């Protein structure tokens, strides 16, 4: 068997067919003052396997409570998503409205509400406009189709402050049969490790059990969405859902599970990096790699600490190769480092080695940092085998301006 994964930059197109067994639509129902699409519907042609991973915030939105109670499952028919309103911190009314959204979708699909999952994103603490939601669900149901354009409409409809849609696809062959995986995501602010203000919906025509789907989903999230940060703020609504139709007739078992997981990890990493690149006001992505840590967990802790430092973030914004900020941030992480072995590379150039600064052309390196959207930062912190990758946006005045005026 040979896995032939698509190029990570490939978007769903006519050359990358969507997974079999699903239909998509996105419509505008009036939740957004802009009039842009704000209700997305993804429907399976038959009951499918579903798994979910959710926010670790203790303040949890009504849609998350709804989905947690239903996944994992092998009987899901649809996912309905609204943007512009998070339906979070809305009390019993919020629970009622999330349940009602599932009931409305179940009515048009002639299935049970327990077979419908719901996601919401947007402003916190405002009740949903259910009359508009109802109209939107009926309109989206009439527009369901299997084309790339319909998929893109659905992806557009889950966005809030995003500058553009975030989609990716992968495919690979098993014994002459092709498996497709396609995903859409949203997120630009309130992004923190261990999920963020983000939603993602992944569809595949692979055949998976509930246990396999949940395990693969958790592994992929750990390697991607749990390794990104914009502002360190974990949200109330974070949800990633995986739907598996089985229409490819490829059962993902022991022999092909590694191939599937690798493709899923790659797709998730692409979506995660798109979220960071679209961070509110962001101009650069810090691609942080920590090596030489005591173990992977400690490497992750160091990477997360460096990524969260406002001083590091602003240095990247200005193209300032300020190695002292990066090294000192690693030093106050809750992890063990060996200072005499600390070695730092920015954009591939070693500027600090074995605890000692090296001479380098700061102006040239600064220009290189400014010229690249992604700024690679590799820091060796010791002689261990611990390793972690992490992606974080820089911090600009536009981020402050946007978020200081978000609700006013």
CA-CA distance, 287 to 388, in Å (whole number)?
Answer: 11
Other Cβ atoms less than 10 A from the Cβ of 163: the count is: 12
CA-CA distance, 178 to 170, in Å (whole number)?
Answer: 10
194, burial (CB in 10 Å: exposed 0-12, middle 13-18, buried 19+): middle
| Selected catalytic residue, list 197, 236, 269, 396 | 197
Per the DSSP assignment, residues forming a β-bridge with 56 are none
Q: Residue 164 corresponds to which tokens in the numbers above?
A: 């553009």
CA-CA distance, 49 to 54, in Å (whole number)?
Answer: 17
CA-CA distance, 154 to 145, in Å (whole number)?
Answer: 10
Give the CB-side neighbour count of residue 141, counting CA atoms within 13 A.
Answer: 16
CA-CA distance, 89 to 86, in Å (whole number)?
Answer: 9
Q: What are phi and psi of 127, to 5 degrees?
A: -60, 145
347 dihedral zone (left: phi>0; alpha: psi -120 to 50; beta): left
Residue whose entry in the numeric block shows the structure tokens 């179940």: 106
DSSP code, position 249: -
Active site (annotated) includes residue 197 = yes
Residues classed as catalytic:
197
């Amino acid at each position: 068997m040979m896995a032939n994964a698509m190029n990570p930059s490939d978007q769903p197109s006519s050359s990358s067919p969507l997974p079999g067994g699903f239909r998509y639509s996105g419509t505008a129902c009036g939740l957004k003052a802009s009039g842009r699409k704000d209700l997305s519907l993804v429907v399976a042609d038959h009951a499918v396997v579903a798994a979910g991973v959710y926010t670790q915030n203790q303040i949890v939105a009504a849609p998350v409570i709804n989905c947690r109670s239903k996944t994992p499952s092998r009987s899901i028919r649809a996912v309905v998503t609204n943007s512009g309103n998070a339906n979070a911190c809305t009390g019993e009314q919020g629970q009622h409205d999330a349940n009602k959204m599932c009931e409305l979708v179940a009515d048009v699909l002639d299935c049970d509400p327990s077979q419908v999952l719901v996601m919401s994103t947007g402003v916190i603490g405002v009740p949903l406009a259910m009359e508009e939601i109802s109209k939107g669900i009926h309109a989206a149901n009439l527009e369901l189709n299997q084309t790339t354009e319909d998929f893109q409409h659905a992806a557009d409809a889950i966005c809030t402050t995003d500058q553009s849609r975030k989609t990716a696809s992968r495919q690979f062959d098993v014994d002459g049969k092709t498996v497709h995986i396609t995903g859409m995501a949203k997120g630009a602010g309130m992004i923190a490790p261990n999920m963020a203000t983000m939603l993602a919906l992944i569809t595949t025509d692979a055949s998976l059990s509930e246990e396999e789907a949940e395990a693969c989903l958790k592994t992929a999230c750990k390697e991607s969405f749990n390794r990104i940060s914009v502002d360190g703020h974990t949200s109330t609504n974070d949800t990633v859902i995986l739907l598996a139709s089985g229409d490819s007739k490829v059962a993902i078992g022991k022999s092909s599970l590694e191939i599937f997981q690798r493709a899923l990890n790659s797709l998730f990493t692409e979506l995660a990096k798109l979220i960071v690149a679209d961070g509110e006001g962001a101009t650069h992505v810090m691609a942080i790699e920590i090596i030489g840590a005591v173990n992977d967990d400690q490497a992750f802790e160091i990477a997360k600490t460096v990524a969260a430092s406002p001083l590091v973030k602003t240095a990247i914004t200005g193209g300032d190769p300020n190695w002292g900020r990066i090294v000192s941030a690693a030093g106050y992480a809750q992890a063990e480092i060996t200072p005499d072995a600390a070695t730092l590379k920015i954009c591939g150039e070693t500027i600090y080695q074995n605890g000692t600064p090296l001479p380098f052309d700061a102006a040239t390196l600064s220009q290189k940092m400014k010229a690249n959207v992604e700024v690679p930062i590799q820091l060796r912190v010791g002689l261990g085998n611990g390793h972690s990758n992490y992606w974080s946006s820089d911090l600009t005045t536009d981020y402050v301006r946007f978020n200081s005026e978000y609700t006013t």
